[in-house]
Structure 1
Amino acid sequence: MSKKMGLGKGLQALIPSYEDENKKTLRNITVADIKPNPKQPRQEMDKQKLQELADSIKEHGVVQPIVVREVPDGGYQLIAGERRWRACQLVNMDTIPAVVTEYTNIQAAEVALIENLQRENLNPLEEAVAYQSLINEFGLTQEELSKRVGKSRSYVANMLRLLALPDDVLALLSSGQISNGHARALLALDTDEKKIVAANEIIKKQLSVRETEKLVKELLQNKENRKKKNERAPEMEDLKDQLQGVFGTKVQIKTNSKGTGKLEIEFYNDDDLSRILEILLDDNSHVSRETN
């Protein structure tokens, strides 16, 4: 069993030394014998940048070896360096320099993730999916995962929370139309519908993360105001009925989100107005309002 590696200490700490004479792992292997890593975190590759890399490899060769491991049914499984491998395919190279390792499944998955994280090649959704995949497949806790990938537990937890967003919002995150910061702000909203509407508002108005946080705060405040209004509705209806009974005419009570408002009492002619004023000015007239 190989010694446990410090997976959070950088990619070079994960790859056996090329100079180690006891492990002759650096080889030129046939490009066609290499199979892609099914656990590759990155789902999208920029075709233009891949072609630029292919042109560079055609001119200068592969500067940094890829990392692979042998598989039981023959050939090799790619662990790190998929862009270099695919670029070699584009220019029809027969062989590619590779470090052949004996990584376990979890080590292979971790190295693939670490390489992409260090090269900043993953979008936030790909990173979150990769973390969740490691947790599900290998039974890791968030604490264990954070130590393995060299991130804080809170960072990993926040990335995983992104997966709670509706698919429409995740698609916008994956395509780069909204950022990680935008997505995290949307998590505070309580329904998928509100999150989708707010996400589209971000794109339409090109909102910054700070402006998005303000938008979310306003939406939450509106919800709270509606809740308070609904809670007070029966009480206000009862009060309106009492007032209409006292004045013998239609009464409207209008309130706003600040708790202020106005009381409207209808009258139909001068005599009706005088009658209502007498009631208002009569010290013996009163309207009782129950309070909790």
Structure 2
Amino acid sequence: MAKATKKQALGRGLSALLKDPDNDIQTATDRNADKVVGNIVELDIAAIEVNPFQPRSNFNDEALHELAGSIRELGVIQPITVRKMDFNKFQLVSGERRYRASRLVGLQTIPAYIRIANDQESLEMALVENIQRQDLDPIEIALSYQRLIDEIQLTQEKMSERVGKKRSTITNYMRLLKLDPIIQTGIRDGFLSMGHGRALVNIDKKTDQIALYEKIVGQNLSVRNTERAVKDYREGKEDSGKNVKKTPTTPGFATENLDKFTEHLSVKVAITASDKGNGKITIPFHSQEEFKRIKKLILGE
């Protein structure tokens, strides 16, 4: 959680920098431009306009509302990309579904990558350097690879040369982005390893991915047992109980108090726990104001 908080604080700080008319960043050579290139910035949704040349114009309402529900619970997992047009004005480059769904749930800000004039080389350098860092989780690495493909138009072969990684390694990371956002969050929070994720990505149906994810966390399954469970699923077998012990995903002591947490905080709290008593409580918030309200309820500040 500390890492996520640090990122949010950084994003808010960069957002304030972009709103300073005395330090308006227009090109990659401007002062403080290096702080923006390659970083996530929390942008006001009202400052972003849709690209009028967006080739995609039809969005499935049901899928959009499903995404909105996911964002309401987990926030925006993958930042959008925008192009700086003018002072505090941006145009959407990619991520219109995330943008529309965020507006649907009433978010005031959204995490974004900002493209500015002549930043191509700087962005490529920033992303390559970012991948070499030791403190990145697998999803962060996968997102950096995806950006090198989407925004720099690097092939996986060229990217392999630039970052010094085998092409198969890059493919394995990028396949993690096919996982449901809930599972991606689990990997980022350290509840699953990359090995677990690589096994789960072989399940196409997102609801079945999540069902097995909950079993992995609740029963503390190893990567090997997860691979067996996925193999059985793909072969249409029922869980015989030989490999994993059947226990409730969330024990009674947690479910009994779930409604109390939700009622007290006025947000839909999620609890994941094992029968041994270890687990986590997830409290979502969708704005700085809501964060302050929840903080006051918990800490009395």
TM bracket, shorter-chain basis: 0.3 to 0.5
TM-score by length of 2: 0.41
Larger Rg: 1
TM-score by length of 1: 0.43
